[in-house]
Chain A
């Protein structure tokens, strides 16, 4: 059974700092990996999708990497801002025939202090 672990569970940093969130998964037979952001009581906002053949993806101040063989992904946030405060969720996407399923980690709660 695929298990996804995110470290740390919570992180508090001062504004402007660069930071790294970690995600690991137990079964390397994934199709893709997706990072999300969730604000309290809200839905999930897709940040980055990394296909299994890719090593990294970038969007603005965000950079996500994927090492499928070691079962790891990182989300790098540059020059953090208070508006980045949210829970960040990593999800691995596995294929079961014609279906795709997302398995989530428990998330990292990020607080960026002004």
Chain B
């Protein structure tokens, strides 16, 4: 099973809302990632979790708050977003050691209104 599952697939939220994106993998991977992808652009790294600890934050605004409750789950909490935050949010995981092959979920299409 090489599946990374993201929910929801689509999300529309107002600028005053609080919402969360969820990501789950059962491959035993110990590294998990959040990427943001705007239309016709490559994915841009936001956060990296390594063994459930935040190891990389690519200077992401505090209105995005990641959380890794356990080795299989990764959340991205959203609050007070701006319309320019509308994008495809991708979660990925990789084994951390040995093979570094990354597996991506299908993404959450976020629209901020």
Contact = CB atoms under 8 A, between A and B. Distances in A.
Contacts of A104: 42-43
B111 interface: no
B31 A100 contact: yes
Interface residues of B, number: 28
Contacts of A49: 99-101
A83 B105 CA distance: 20
A100 B55 contact: no
Nearest to B104: A44
B94 interface: yes
A42 B102 contact: no
Interface of B: 2, 4, 6, 31, 33, 41-43, 45, 48, 50, 55-56, 88, 90, 92, 94, 96, 99-107, 109
Contact of A101 (B4, B45, B106): B45
Contact of B48 (A45, A93, A101): A101
B38 to A, nearest CB: 12
Contact of B56 (A89, A101, A105): A101
Interface in A62-98: 89, 91, 93, 96, 98
Given A43-B90, A43-B107, 20 more contacts: A41-B88, A42-B106, A43-B4, A44-B90, A44-B104, A46-B104, A49-B101, A89-B42, A91-B102, A93-B100, A98-B50, A99-B48, A99-B55, A99-B56, A100-B100, A101-B56, A102-B92, A104-B43, A105-B42, A106-B42
A104 B29 CA distance: 21
B96 to A, nearest CB: 7
Contact of B101 (A43, A46, A96): A46
Interface of A: 31-32, 34, 36, 41-46, 49, 51, 89, 91, 93, 96, 98-107
Given A101-B48, A102-B45, A43 B100 contact: no
A107 B99 CA distance: 23
Contacts of A107: 42
A98 B104 contact: no
